[in-house]
Amino acid sequence: MKKILITGAAGTIGTACCEYFIRNGYYVIGIDNDYRGRILGPEASIKKNKEYLINKYSDLEFYDFDISEDNKIEEILGNHKVKALIHCASQPSHPKSIEIPYADFINNVVNTVKLLEILKNKSKDTVFVFCSSNKVYGENPNSFELVESETRYNFKDIIGIDETCSLDHTLHTPLGASKLAADIYTQEYLRLYDLPAGVFRLSCVTGIYAKAIESHNWIPYIINKIKNQEVIKIFGYKGKQVRDIIDASDVAKVFDLFINNPAKDNVFNLGGGAENSISILELIKIIENQFGCRVQKDFLDKRMGDHCVYISDNTKIENLYNFKPTLSYKSIIKNFI
């Protein structure tokens, strides 16, 4: 049986990957120590996802430890020949990284390099999949000319951000900086050591296993706020800021395509694309209509390093792997409701 190792295995992407690969004939080894629950609060805890996976699937081996702990990963790789290692574990919050920059660095950079080094020395044929972020571009996406409509901003002359967008001369925040460092290290391990590795600069990944918290996973957070008729805090841009949405199950499919045919040109932007983009005001309107209510909005200053518009240009990955997202933003929102 094919085997796969997933870090952050009970997070939004990790849970979707566990399900996808098990359903496609893999034996999954998952690792998750609920780091996000400890730093972002109990509402961010992945314990329910973990319990769900363990109770539902027999082709799953689950571990609860910090991947920085000595020899634990080596022991797993010594006991299992894994086809791929999908690295989802991270400090995921953009605003939280400003509070804890050193912890963000350890989790996002040091742990990633540790995994790369282990694979280089112990399991060089294992495909490494790194969950990078659109935050690697810092505020540079804000330099593109925008047009404003009643409910959103949009790019004027481009369909979205592609992989050639500048990474330099911009504010990143610690999350953007740590994701960029790990992103570059992953590329270097391919170039220098011929380690099969892919970098996926993800936009707004969500799905039914996402936790509804303010600093991460804004879609279920806003839906809960509207359902409970609570005030919604909107950080800058008049609520017209736009993101493209992709379901974590579609991200898992892309990872599978890459694992089975690793590309040498291995850096990809991945999101829902322009057709699956939505503003905060547009999301609020959809949910208000669904629940038959109106909510109060509290408009605040924008957060440091935040994008006004981020839409992924998926052209590269579409051309290479013939991939299109299967779940629309409307379907994703309906699933949350």
Q: How far apart are CA 281 and CA 155, in angstroms?
A: 17
Ranges of residues in the chain whose predicted pLDDT is under 70:
215
Domain ranges in the chain? 2-336
Render pLDDT for 164-182 as a digit per residue (tens, 0 to 9). 999 999 999 999 999 999 9
Render pLDDT for 250-276 as a digit per residue (tens, 0 to 9). 999 999 999 999 998 999 999 999 999
For residue 179, give both structure tokens. 């994701």
Side by side, the strands of the sheet bearing 2-7 are 60-63, 26-31, 2-7, 84-87, 127-133, 197-202, 267-270
pLDDT for 285: 95
Q: How far apart are CA 59 and CA 21, in angstroms?
A: 10
CATH class for domain 2-336? alpha beta
Q: How far apart are CA 224 and CA 230, in angstroms?
A: 8
Alpha carbon 80 to its chain centroid, in Å, reads 26
DSSP 320: H
pLDDT for 215: 67
Q: What global pTM score does this model have? A: 0.96
Q: How far apart are CA 336 and CA 225, in angstroms?
A: 13
Residue bearing tokens 């038959």: 292
Q: Which residues pair with 277 in a beta bridge?
A: 244
